[in-house]
Amino acid sequence: MKSCCGLVTVKNEPVPLKSVEVDVHVQGHVATVTSTLLYVNGEERPLEAVFVFPLPGECAVCHLSAKIGDTEVVARLQDKQKAREEYDDALSSGHQAFLLEESDQSPDVFQLNVGSLPPGESAAITLVYISELDMQADDALGFCLPAVLNPRYTPQDMDRSQMATVTSVPAGTVPYTLALSAHLSSPQPISKVECNCDLEPLAYLNPDKTQATVSLSPGHLFDRDVELLLYYHDAHKPTAIMEAGLDTAEPGSLMRDPVVLLSIYPEFPAAVTSSLSTCGEFIFVVDRSGSMDCAMHSGKDAKMRIESAKDTLLLLLKSLPMGCYFNIYGFGSRYEHFFPKSVEYNQKTMDDALEKVKGMRADMGGTEILQPLKHIYSQPCIPSHPRQLFIFTDGEVGNTKQVLDLVKINGNSHRCFSFGIGEGASTALITGLAKEASGHAQFITGTDRMQPKVMQSLHYALQPAVKDISVHWNLPDGVSVTTLSPPLKVLFHGQRALLYAQLKGENAANPEGSVTIQYNLLEETVKNQLSFCLRPTGDTGVTLHRLGARTLIRSLEIEERAAGPEAKALREKLLQLSLQSGVSCTHTAFIAIHKGSGQTVQGPLLHRTVPTPGMFFGAPMALCCSMPMARMAPMRKMANMAPMARMAAVPAMPPVMMCCDSMEDDDEMFDGVQEPESPPDPLLQLIFLQKASGSWEMESSMAKVLKKTDDELDKLMPVGVDKAVWATVLALIWLYGFCLEAQDEWQFVAMKAASWIQAQKVDCVSQCVQAGNALLGCQLQQKTLGL
């Protein structure tokens, strides 16, 4: 089946979703999100609405309720199959029913069925989930309310028979709005809040600025992800939060015992953070599916995703150390690689790769990442060159769990650094790739530049790998611990590591405990310790319990998929944990039933769709695309009913912004697309001219970047100086003098250049720096340039 792409409208068709209200309560590093969606059936016949929507991949969904008139119905968490049967039975009996379930293929996609909404009736549906805030590179804590759910490409070997249809319209015509307010509470003062959407002024609620409120400006259309960046004082300060259990829960259960959340920030010795490896096998895997021909953002000067990825590859290739090994893969419905196997990095192989990067296009159909990964893992690792995998994708895959299972099996052979490009990238895929292979995940959305984030990950990749991580608990007599988080497999300098643990027993006389993270780094043992109080930190409800349960649930789900005869026992354990904690999993669903008249629904079938915002080839456009979901088969127990109108609406929470991949390998779909010409970037031009060794040659193209003539460069060159040394010193002065704000992007390029100059062992470096300053109008010191 192919997705259809064409202009569609919803003119004169009623839209049932009227408004979305979101209330966010942030406590430190955790957000509790309550979303209320108002739907109204303006039709003359009852409707069944099917909503598909994204949520953060690691969130804990813990509540669903519906208010019809003055009656509120709270959903129960139930075995998924039983919940589906109850839903069908309720509709066949003339009742209203609500069913919320997680996709079988990806934990960041949910489906909500609203059954039999009578004519003129309204329903306010409330969904609650809990999520950790992401730590950003600039120490901000990031909260994202996802609006964008791009259609997931379905691989050839997957069942495509059950598809949910998604209809989209230009983003500016979305007929419903979002109201969002956030209440912030932090142990440290809140410095500021930034957002990619218009905000009302931040209002502090107390003198020490540890509590504040902020909200979106009125009338916001939910046509994009809403991203909040929260800045706290001392954001890197290790913290511990203790949460009391529920007295009403079963004794000995997770919900009965206290739970502690530890936020740890490893601090490596300066000698480690400043020393970078000169070996390694670097494999760059680049999404070349059709959706990579979308713009990075909706601004006027936005680059296409594929073009930004190509610029990033240029920067990466120039930043690699001499003597390492590398290869580049492109994938879509098929895949290809630049070299049959990884090659040694030198001038020739770098030039060959750069020539091929120039010709890369988003012309390879759908997003099928499984096969290239299988090919990479089939290649033997190179001794003394640790494998580092860099994956760039917009994350539109339908077999997320299958991909992550493959990465986990091969997790000990490499580290994976993953990058989600553009809005709608699967959070479950991007974070899962890094988690299962001891790497780091980054998301590039809005006006973010890809290059600084990728360079940060390259810095991590070049740092020595942390080995033999262990966690040691020091607790009072009578208190024991059960760790809920999976074993720590990776630590990076200054990057947060979260640990959830269940504590059993008590010792009233000694309420203090501590945890020590111990690991080996460059053959040295390093210890980081955090002390904490065993008394509850404050009124957090059961937030941490549910996040801890969610963490354990995800680990058990991975074990279950890999298990043989033990799979049944693991499924029972998952069911028990999910039902006990109230957190959904792949085997459970929320079901709510509102008993109405009990009369069989009569009347002809009506079909309506809720429009969602779409973007195609970088410009807003209406699309009709298909997306696989777990349950779209006709209802099984409605033989006695006349068919209701089925309202396929995407999403339950946000609208969907889409860049479509073809369901087949539709390369011809992208023929004739003219990419807008953008002015050349002088920084990238200069970096392109650098040699693999780190040096530059004195040539006319170099003079052009520096905005000088060849004669000017020759005239001020100190007597007897090698031209390559002179050119390389000038390049360093230009980088530090004119591009200092982009230092995160060119830091490795500059380090290579400085190392090359030092290796030449010439005596005229100071004269070159002095002459270069005079030529370029700078006043930089030799030490500043790393010389």
Place of tokens 């680990």: 555
- Taking the alpha carbons at both ends of the chain, their separation in whole angstroms is 60
Residue 155 token pair: 């691989």
pLDDT of residue 95: 87
Rounded to an integer, what distance in angstroms lies between the CA atom of residue 189 and that of residue 633? 51
Widest pairwise Cα distance in the chain: 98
The larger pLDDT score, comparing residue 687 to residue 1, is at 687
**Residue 291 backbone class (left: φ over 0; alpha: ψ -120 to 50; beta: rest):** alpha
512-521 and 524-533 beta bridge pairing: antiparallel
Which of 10-14, 254-258, 416-420, 429-433 has the least mean pLDDT?
10-14
pLDDT of residue 165: 43
With helix as H, strand as E and coil as C, how does 579-636 read?
A: HHHCCCCCCEEEEEEECCCCCCCCCCCCEEEECEEEEECCEECCCEEEEECCCCCCCC
* pLDDT of 168 above 70: no
Q: Name the CA dihedral angle for 207, 210, 212, 216, rounded to a multiple of 10 degrees.
A: 140
Fold of 276-462: Rossmann fold (3.40.50)
Q: What is the DSSP string of 645-667?
A: EEEEES-SSS-----PPPSS--G
pLDDT of residue 68: 87
* pLDDT of 621 above 80: no
Residue 54 CA from chain centroid, whole number = 12
User: Is residue 230 within 8 Å of 138, Cβ to Cβ?
Assistant: no
Domain boundaries defined on the chain: 17-234+582-665, 239-269+469-577, 276-462, 682-776
Rounded to an integer, what distance in angstroms lies between the CA atom of residue 65 and that of residue 624? 30
pLDDT of residue 679: 56
pLDDT of residue 286: 95
pLDDT band of 313, cuts 50, 70, 90: very high
pLDDT band of 678, cuts 50, 70, 90: low
pLDDT of residue 175: 64
pLDDT tens profile 36-56: 988 888 888 888 877 778 888
Rounded to an integer, what distance in angstroms lies between the CA atom of residue 419 and that of residue 465? 20
Answer positive or negative: Cα dihedral of 715, 716, 720, 721. Answer: negative
The chain-wide mean pLDDT, for the chain, equals: 82
pLDDT tens profile 224-271: 788 899 999 887 788 888 999 999 999 989 999 999 999 888 888 777
Backbone torsions φ then ψ of 605, nearest 5 degrees: -75, 130
Angstrom CA distances, 260 to 28, 49, 100, 146, 244, stand at: 14, 40, 29, 28, 9
pLDDT of residue 653: 42
Residue 221: CB partners within 8 Å, gap ≥ 6?
Answer: 171, 172, 174, 176, 177, 178
pLDDT of residue 598: 55
pLDDT band of 602, cuts 50, 70, 90: low
For residues 365-381, average pLDDT: 92
Work out the percent of the chain whose per-residue pLDDT is above 70.
83
Q: Amino acid letter at 20? A: V
pLDDT of residue 134: 86
Angstrom CA distances, 295 to 422, 677, 711, stand at: 8, 13, 41
Which of 108-117, 126-135, 613-622 has the least mean pLDDT?
613-622
The larger pLDDT score, comparing residue 783 to residue 10, is at 783
pLDDT tens profile 699-741: 999 999 999 999 999 999 998 899 999 999 999 999 999 999 9
pLDDT band of 625, cuts 50, 70, 90: very low
pLDDT tens profile 522-570: 888 888 889 999 988 777 789 999 999 999 999 999 899 888 788 899 9
Rounded to an integer, what distance in angstroms lies between the CA atom of residue 122 and that of residue 124? 7
Which CATH code for domain 239-269+469-577?
A: 2.60.40
The larger pLDDT score, comparing residue 76 to residue 137, is at 76
* pLDDT of 63 above 90: yes
pLDDT of residue 375: 96
* pLDDT of 663 above 70: no
Q: Which residues pair with 127 in a beta bridge?
A: 35, 64
Rounded to an integer, what distance in angstroms lies between the CA atom of residue 410 and that of residue 405? 9
Place of tokens 């309202």: 647
What is the enclosing helix (H) or strand (E) of 720?
Answer: none
Q: What's the number of CA atoms in the CB half-sphere (13 Å) around residue 658? A: 33
